[in-house]
Amino acid sequence: MYQEYYNFSREPFRLSPEHGFAYSHKGYTKARAYMDYAYMQAEGFVMITGRPGTGKTTLIDALVNDMSREPVRIANLVCTQLQADDLIKMVAYEFGIPVSVVEKGELLQMLTSRLKTWYRDGRRALLIVDEAQDLSVSAMEELRLLTNLQLDSRPLLQIF
């Protein structure tokens, strides 16, 4: 009913976030500037916090949309209630590595090799973990360890 009254072409009040309807309040704008800066500076690990409904997921969607022309491979994890080993498999899968590999060491080696290839080709890798508060402590430690993957003193993987 309100859609017709206000002549909306799309529904603005959906349950799933849509960056086109983001309200750029002060906190949102500041967080976006921080994320843009962190990306440009190739910071390894970036965390954005906020209360539910403040636009964190919408912010991520806008960031991913704006990076569509950047030389970056983006993996977006939203299913975060995972154990540490499953998290590594999800990261590998999202970056196009077959997860039929059973051994964690081999999987990490394949992931490292892929990230190094992208780095040498001038591409970057960005892992976005939405709802990271649901990660177990061991899974969070696995994420932190992924930031140790470096080449030429630069992180091979940025994690937001």
Residue 27 lies in a domain: no
| Total number of domains in the chain | 1
Residue 147 lies in a domain: yes
Residue 125 lies in a domain: yes
Confidence at residue 103, expressed as pLDDT on a 0 to 100 scale: 86
Biggest distance spanned by C-alpha atoms of the chain: 59
> Phi/psi of residue 107, each to 5°?
-65, -45
| Residue whose C-alpha is closest to residue 107's, from 120, 121, 118, 93 | 93
pLDDT band at 68 (very low <50, low <70, confident <90, very high): confident
CA distance 116 to 157: 10
Which strands form 158-159's sheet, in the order they lie side by side? 72-77, 124-129, 158-159
| Residue whose C-alpha is closest to residue 107's, from 121, 83, 91 | 91
Confidence at residue 3, expressed as pLDDT on a 0 to 100 scale: 74
Structural domain including 146 reads 53-61+71-160
Confidence at residue 84, expressed as pLDDT on a 0 to 100 scale: 86
For 4-8, 12-16, 30-34, 90-94, which range has the lowest pLDDT when averaged over its residues? Answer: 12-16
Residue 80 lies in a domain: yes
- This prediction's pTM: 0.84
Residue 48 lies in a domain: no
Buried b (16+ CB within 10 A) or exposed e, 98-132: eeebeeeeebbebbeebbeebbeeeebbbbbbbeb
Res 15 pLDDT > 70: no
Can you give the CATH number for the domain in which 57 is found? 3.40.50.300
Q: Is 63 exposed, middle or buried (0-12, 13-18, 19+ CB in 10 A)?
A: buried
**How many residues are given for the chain?**
160
Res 96 pLDDT > 90: yes
Q: Which of 7-11, 103-107, 131-135 has the highest average model confidence (pLDDT)?
A: 103-107
